Amino acid sequence: MTGQADRTGLERDLYLNVLRLLETQDSPTGSMKEVLAGLVTLAQAERAYIELYRDETAGERRWSTSHGCTTTDEEQIRAVTSRGIVAMAIASGETVHTPFALLDQRFSASSSVKQQRLEAVLCAPLQGASPGVLYLEGRRGAGPFPPEVVQVVENVARFIGTAAQRATTGSHSEAPDPTLPFRQRLRLEGIAGRSRALANVFEQITLAAPLDVTVLVTGPSGTGKTQLAQAIHDNSKRSAGPFMELNCAAIPEGLIESELFGAMPGAFPGARRTTGKVEAAEGGTLFLDEIAEIPLAAQGKLLQLLQSKQYYALASPRLAKANVRVIAATNADLEQLVAEKRFREDLFYRLNVFSIRMPSLAERREDLGDLVDGLMARLADEHGLPRLRASPGFYVHCEATEWPGNVRQLRHRLEAALIRACAEGATYVEPRHFADGRQGQGACSTSFHEATRIFQCDLLRRELTKAEWNISEAARCLDLTRSHVYNLIKCFGLTRK
């Protein structure tokens, strides 16, 4: 067994190879082979193999490379993975680890498993726009892979999939774009991305926008429901009219009716003639965000507006007509609220004429590259900062990080990273610029980046000492530019003793 000191060294070298892979602009094959070689050594495995596929069925190979495999070995592995193991890993999104494939009922029927008498197999799904797997095969008689090895393999798989995807396509912008036909016909400037999930949303916008029907936008918090509502308005017959937004959760219960319908003098002490959102949206669209938070008392008046296109301003005896289209949005389960008598059933049906769900960021991870580019450019303009580009490693970091707060959380984190990078005078926004804001990262992502940061600092310090702080010599040994070395010295706060 590998000693603890040796294991730490092997992990360090492995992570450094992953970093080099993330930063490379060239073909990934050479760097990927070094990563696979490091995994084989660390895991004491027989061989390792990585493969990307063209579609979710994993039937057509797109790109592959291996360590410790002949061409025949790769064909055998491909036969094994194509008959259950890879399909299970991709479909479940979870690592498949079997200590003895030959005796595992899930795979024992495979002729390839029988022929090769496979024992320990570890297959981790890759993250990225294309499905793929990282496959490790154990040595005969060595038993299952230890839990710490499984953890390392899963950590590495979170990053190398998106790195391979980007390297094989040149960049994320060159990947197939199923949203393009819709972008050519519709105004969709406020929604970034090119995923199949987003294309499905655009298809629904195509159906709903031309019709003057009420639309209910659903989906998790922070996904961009406001932008979706704006897109419906921009592509409707009302696009020349106003787009008025009211966040029902942000208005005190006693003021929601006056905000919606306006008020006349005498409606309440000190009241003056006020214009409500309905009147302000005349000829256009009224967007009611967080509709689940509207009080029951106001729900009845909103129902009247939807049914008759008429309403009463507070303290007004005159029935006013409204020429508005209503779009509502919520991240709550309205049907459950109806069952709990907290939301009117008749109002729910009036709102839910046409429903569009905005997917979470986890459902469209391949959009992260476009989102990062668009948000960083917008944030730079808002704050008057330089338009810094993201490094390849930064994209991979974003794609491998969990974003439970969706696009809203991503925007806040990018804002902080951009500010740190500009303050540092960096040329690119790097993963380390996330260092002081770890909210929302999974434990694996945090530990991975903290480990690689420590390894980078330690390696740089050793090379600088060896070169007697000759920056050019240290840069040559590390295969970095002098400016990059200077940036790292400043980032890590290294000083010559």
For residues 292-309, average pLDDT = 93
Residue with tokens 């990018």: 414
The beta strands (E) that lie in 94-222 are given as 96-98, 121-125, 132-138, 215-218
Domain range list for the chain: 4-170, 181-359, 363-492
Q: How confident is the model at residue 282 (pLDDT cuts 50, 70, 90)?
A: very high
- What is the full DSSP assignment across 65-108? EEES--HHHHHHHHHHIIIIIHHHHHHHTS-EEES-GGG-TTTT
Residues 172-202 as b/e (b if ≥16 CB within 10 A, e otherwise) read: beebebbbeebeeebebeebbbbbebbbbbb
Residue with tokens 């390839």: 112
4-170: CATH class:
alpha beta
**pLDDT tens, 442-487?**
333 444 455 566 667 777 887 888 888 888 888 887 777 777 777 7
Strands 428-429 and 285-289: unpaired
Under DSSP, the state recorded for 146 is P
Domain 363-492 of CATH type 1.10.8.60: yes
Q: What is the pLDDT of residue 58?
A: 43
Q: What is the pLDDT of residue 303?
A: 95
- Whether this prediction's pTM lies above 0.75 is answered by no
**pLDDT tens, 37-92?**
988 898 888 888 887 775 544 445 567 788 877 777 777 666 655 456 667 777 67
The dihedrals phi and psi of 124, each to the nearest 5 degrees, come to -105, 130
CA distances from 85 to 160, 162, 168, 393, 450 (A): 19, 21, 24, 29, 32
Residues 220-252 as b/e (b if ≥16 CB within 10 A, e otherwise) read: bebbbbbbbbbbbbbbbebeebebbbbebeebe
Say how far residue 290 (Cα) sits from the centre of its chain: 23
Cα 179 to Cα 405: distance, rounded to the nearest angstrom: 24
Cα 403 to Cα 134: distance, rounded to the nearest angstrom: 23
Cα 244 to Cα 286: distance, rounded to the nearest angstrom: 5
Supply 247's token pair: 């966040």
Of 250-254, 334-338, 351-355, least confident by mean pLDDT is: 250-254
255 pLDDT exceeds 60? yes
Q: How confident is the model at residue 266 (pLDDT cuts 50, 70, 90)?
A: low
Closest CA to 285 of 315, 240, 248: 240
Asked if the domains 181-359 and 363-492 are classified in one and the same CATH topology, the answer is: no
Cα 60 to Cα 115: distance, rounded to the nearest angstrom: 23
Q: What is the pLDDT of residue 81?
A: 54
Q: List alpha helices for 333-428, DSSP H.
A: 334-339, 345-351, 368-383, 392-400, 406-424
Q: What homologous superfamily does CATH list for 181-359?
A: P-loop containing nucleotide triphosphate hydrolases (3.40.50.300)
Which has the higher per-residue pLDDT, 489 or 221?
221
492 pLDDT exceeds 80? no
Cα 125 to Cα 115: distance, rounded to the nearest angstrom: 25
Q: What is the pLDDT of residue 442?
A: 39
